[in-house]
Amino acid sequence: MSLLVEPMQPGDWDSVRAIYQEGIDTRNATFARSAPEWQEWNEKHLGSCRLVGRCEGLVLGWAALSPVSQRDVYRGVAEVSIYVAQNARGKGVGRALLSRLVEESEDEGIWTLQAGIFPENAASIELHKRVGFRVVGVREKLGCMDGCWRDVVLMERRSGRIGR
């Protein structure tokens, strides 16, 4: 597979949204119940560090960052979102996207990336570990989904270039 990791374009939104919805439908990727419309998604994510993984013109996955706070002291801390199409999982798409996202985030001056992952999503936890994230802890019963309280594994990656 010849995968290109490149900046997300506005025309990618339908594919990005569909992949996001696939992840939501697993009930092990996010507390969200449905993928938002473009305007809402766009407003909640940083303008930089928006990537897609593309093969033969098809978007197979995406990654983007959201600020964790509007306070200036946290300007270099961002939360990772990464989703891979169901038919492309296990083929290196996630690793390529997350590795490039780390590089681009450091180019943008971001010193800490964090991710909140359901413990049941073992593949995502392992992916993040392979790219240098560590488990900070488990936030127990962080939210209730479908009548069940869910834990969230908090992971972070500190830049080796920024803030050292």
Q: What is the rounded distance in angstroms from the CA atom of residue 153 to the CA atom of residue 136?
A: 8
Instruction: Say which CATH number the domain at 57 has.
Output: 3.40.630.30
Residues with Cβ within 8 Å of residue 117, at least 6 apart in sequence: 124, 125, 128, 152, 153, 155
Instruction: Tell me what pLDDT residue 88 has.
Output: 95
Instruction: Tell me what pLDDT residue 163 has.
Output: 73
Contact 78, 68 (CB under 8 A): yes
- The model's pTM is 0.94
Please state the domain count of the chain. 1
Instruction: Tell me what pLDDT residue 43 has.
Output: 96
**What are the pLDDT digits (tens) for 70-104?**
999 999 999 999 999 999 999 999 999 999 999 99
DSSP letter, residue 92: T
Q: For the chain, where are the E strands, in sequence order?
A: 4-7, 51-55, 58-67, 77-84, 112-117, 134-145, 148-158
Instruction: Tell me what pLDDT residue 89 has.
Output: 94
Q: Is residue 31 part of a domain?
A: yes
Q: 75 has which bridge partners?
A: none
Structural domain boundaries, residue 101: 4-158
The residue with tokens 């093969």 is 55
Q: Is residue 120 part of a domain?
A: yes
Q: Is residue 164 part of a domain?
A: no
